[in-house]
Amino acid sequence: MIDPEQPRFTMTPSPSPPTPPKTSLAPLDIGVLVVYFLLVLAVGFWSMWRTKRSTVDGYFLAGKSMTWWPVGASLFASNIGSGHFIGLAGSGAAAGIGAIAYEWNGMFMVLLLGWVFLPIYLASGVTTMPEYLQKRFGGRRTQLLIAVLYLFIYIFTKISVDMYAGALFIQLALQWNIYLAVGLLLSITAIYTVAGGLAAVIYTDAAQTVIMLAGALTLMAFSFVEVGGWNGLMEGYAYAIPSVRVPNTTCGIPREDSFNVFRDPVTSDLPWPGLFIGMSIPSMWYWCSDQVIVQRSLAAKTLTHAKGGSLLAVYLKIIPFFAVMLPGMISRILYTDDVACADPDVCREVCGNPVGCTDTAYARLVMELLPSGLRGLMMAVMIAALMSSLTSVFNSASTIFTMDLWKTFRSRATEWELMIVGRVFVLVLVVVSVMWIPVVQASQGGQLFIYIQSISTYLQPPVSIVFILGCFWKRTNEKGAFWGLALGLLIGCIRMLLDFIYPQPQCYEADTRPGVLKYVHYLYFSTLLSVITLCVVVVISLVTEEPRPEQISRLTWFTKSDPVQTQVPTVEQSSNKAEDNNDLQTDHTDTRDPSEHRASTSSSVSVRQSRLMSALYWLCGLERRQDHSPPPPPEPPAVDSLDEKPHLKMIVNVNLIISLTVTVFIFGYWV
């Protein structure tokens, strides 16, 4: 309990009037931003030169040629978006370190991906997660339901969060028009996403990971120096209380359990029993069955490299606690009356949001503490986080739309057509993202992140249960998976709708919500939803027919090492393949006038047009074959080997033990 007689921490500034942050960047900062954009574009075009982008496998899975370090860096960069820098730091400023449990829980789950789920996906030979469900259960309805659900989650949660967070920082730093700023970022992002495919996304993610870490660690150092080191943080946070606490004097007081991860099971914001199942099940969806994450691991050249990527991601995920969350808490100490404002009128004056201004904690540190040049670096960090997340979503959503939806309705689509559709859909996502900006602007910062938590808690557990049972229980069939998924999503949507109708009250307001909202924490509801889905899938699967052998072989943990069943193509399939190759060759033939003796002017125009088309084809990764060149022979179906070299397997297994030990230790230390 805080002693009101004890003097407050000396770092707390005078409460009034609110001090506006610096809002301009020096020419040196602008120069750093220009260098950053040139670096990203250079890496993107370099990756386009060295990778094969003209095939489905090359474009969507980077030719399965990635080594462990770009895979791990891309896993980290895809996860750590601008929403983390804004939201995680804001959570630290508002309620202490409790929200870091999501990050540390993810450390377990990304290891679960590499050692448990990924061998099943590799053995099945799939490109997308909905495709895995189609192979495992048969039929199309489960695959289509999951594909549409994934696109919904990507467009209306991942993109919206990163757009909101990036826009908040850009407006604070540059005072740019929001449409101009976001339109420019999306345009640059779309260039190498459309042109380079997953390979360009992964390599640019790796480059941006270095930038993010360098900038975040730099700001962390400045923050700790300013607050007086670790002791200054521990002592000052408890007394970072805003002076204006109207109409209720209990508002704005730091939590007594601010430095604890495991909190009271009934009255706290993150009850500790909910961390084990209620948080783990949605986290398992994100790390083990979300297309954005799994697609990066599927691009690894071997299973060992995929495991190495998971290990690198785990080690990197230790950093956000020190480099993002703790600086957010320091920001509350340094700028208490602004960042931790408790009065709606004061908050509206400080950041335009009456709910609260903790979301500005990280941006406030950047603009106040860092000198010229380093502010530009941190601006690049925020843009890197935004772009890395958006490119990941764009590429994965494009993969799902092309391989799971388009191919369902265009079963005889040529590879050329799939390449065009995949790239055009990225451009469609860019347009949707820009159109979504007014919705993001209209959403209050605090309510937006509550909305994201609701989406995760209410929509992801049923999907996780279906994947878990599909991978580890051979008796699971299509009827059980579909109806368990459908019922679980229906229940989750009802709870989510209630959350929108009855938002959580502020600290000075009476809680008049229905009991299911008031007394059932969303983590407990996630646990209950998981149990309901599990029961439905099990019961319906047991009372209906067993899965066919082809729905089991190489598609579960216990059958992943089954021998590959080679199938001889039928006459119809061979004919279709030949037609596809002919179509592809026709599309790639030179369109110049066949007459070789036209006037020199007409010939030069034809040559210029041909060179222009060649450049356009190269930019899009659509390689052209020479006239009269035969189509390439059909390639045999690729089978991903689960074999690992003994000495490399020992190295990754030793690191697995080390990383698990580290994760358990940091959880235990902050109990």
The two tokens of residue 443 are: 């959403």
Tell which wins on pLDDT, 577 or 268. 268
Residue 54 pLDDT exceeds 70:
no
pLDDT tens, position by position, 399-425: 888 888 888 888 787 877 887 887 788
In a domain, 262, yes or no: yes
Task: State the pLDDT at residue 629.
Answer: 46
Is 64:301 a contact under the CB 8 Å cutoff? yes
**Location of structure tokens 């070789």:** 596
Identify the top-confidence range among 65-74, 429-438, 507-516: 65-74
- Confidence (pLDDT) at 172: 66
Residue 3 pLDDT exceeds 60? no
Q: Is residue 320 domain-resident?
A: yes
The residue among 286 and 81 whose pLDDT is bigger is 286
| Residue 500: per-residue pLDDT | 75
User: What is the mean predicted confidence (pLDDT) over 329-351?
Assistant: 89
- The answer to whether 408 touches 140, Cβ cutoff 8 Å, is yes
Q: CA–CA separation, 401 vs 147, rounded Å?
A: 7
Biggest CA pair distance of the chain: 98
Residue 248's pLDDT band (cuts 50, 70, 90) = low
Backbone angles phi, psi at 198, to 5 degrees: -65, -35
Residue 580's pLDDT band (boundaries 50, 70, 90)? very low
Q: Using the predicted structure, report yes or no on whether residue 269 has a pLDDT greater than 50.
A: yes
Assign 18 a pLDDT band (cuts: 50, 70, 90). Answer: very low
Q: Please report the pLDDT score of residue 65 as a whole number.
A: 73
**Is residue 432 a contact partner of residue 155, using CB atoms and an 8 Å limit?**
yes
pLDDT at 529: 95
Q: Is residue 534 part of a domain?
A: no
pLDDT of residue 8: 37
Mean pLDDT over residues 61-76, rounded? 80
Interval 44-61 mean pLDDT: 56
Scan for tokens 């938002």, then name that residue: 503
pLDDT level of residue 14 (50, 70, 90 thresholds): very low
pLDDT tens digits for range 153-199: 887 777 777 776 776 677 666 666 666 777 777 776 666 566 555 66
Task: State the SS3 of 337-355.
Answer: HHHCCCCHHHHHHHHCCCC
Task: Express each pLDDT in 552-565 by its tens digit.
Answer: 999 999 999 988 76
Rounded Cα–Cα distance for residues 486 and 445 (Å): 31
Kindly report the backbone phi and psi dihedral angles of residue 589, in degrees, each rounded to the nearest multiple of 5, phi listed first: -70, 155
Instruction: For residue 509, list its beta bridge partners.
Output: none
Cβ atoms within 10 Å, residue 633:
7
pLDDT at 366: 87
Question: Do you know the residue count of the chain?
Answer: 671
What CA–CA distance (Å, rounded) separates 453 from 270? 12
DSSP letter at 114? Answer: I
Q: What's the structural domain count of the chain?
A: 1
- Cα-Cα-Cα-Cα dihedral sign, residues 263, 264, 268, 269: positive
Dihedral angle sign, alpha carbons of residues 606, 609, 613, 619: positive
C-alpha distance from residue 586 to each of 579, 590, 594 (Å)? 10, 9, 15
What mean pLDDT comes out for the span 75-101?
85
Report if residue 226 sits inside a domain: yes
- Determine which helix (DSSP H) or strand (DSSP E) holds 485, and give its type and residue range: helix 478-501
CA distance 194 to 192: 5
pLDDT at 389 over 90: no
Determine, yes or no, domain membership for 490: no
pLDDT in tens, 434-469: 776 666 555 544 445 555 666 778 889 999 999 999
How far is the C-alpha of 258 from the C-alpha of 97, rounded, in Å? 6
List the one residue out of 10, 103, 129, 66 whose CA is nearest residue 301: 66
Q: Using an 8 Å Cβ cutoff, are 530 and 281 in contact?
A: yes
The predicted structure's pLDDT at residue 598: 44
Question: From CA 653, how far away is CA 666, in angstroms rounded?
Answer: 20
Structural domain includes residue 97: yes
Domain that holds residue 97: 60-444
Q: Give the model's confidence band at 51: pLDDT under 50 very low, under 70 low, under 90 confident, else very high.
A: low
CATH number at residue 282: 1.20.1730.10
The residues, any chain, with a CB within 8 Å of residue 472's CB and separated by 6 or more, are 556, 557, 558
Burial of 625 (0-12, 13-18, 19+ CB in 10 A): middle
Is residue 381 in some structural domain?
Answer: yes
Buried b (16+ CB within 10 A) or exposed e, 450-465: bbbbbbbbbbbbbbbb
Q: Which residue has the higher pLDDT, 416 or 141?
A: 141
Which pLDDT value is given to residue 618? 46
Residue 613's pLDDT is 54
In this prediction, residue 29 carries a pLDDT of 83
Mean pLDDT (whole number) for 111-140: 92
User: Do 129 and 146 contact (CB within 8 A), yes or no?
Assistant: yes
* Band of residue 2 on the pLDDT scale cut at 50, 70, 90: very low
Q: Which of 1-10, 85-94, 251-260 has the lowest mean pLDDT?
A: 1-10
Q: What percent of the chain has pLDDT over 70?
A: 74
**Where would I find the beta strands (DSSP E) of 202-286?**
none
Cβ neighbours of 146 (radius 10 Å):
27
The model's pTM is 0.80
pLDDT of 579 reads: 47
More reliable by pLDDT, 428 or 665: 665
Quote the CA–CA distance of 637 and 238 in Å, as a whole number: 61
- Residue that has been written with the tokens 């750093």 in this structure: 32
Confirm whether 573 is domain-assigned: no
* pLDDT range class, residue 487, cuts 50, 70, 90: very high
Report d(CA 460, CA 148) in Å as an integer. 13
CA dihedral angle for residue 578, residue 580, residue 584, residue 585, rounded to 10 degrees: 20
pLDDT band at residue 231 using 50, 70 and 90 as cut-offs: very high
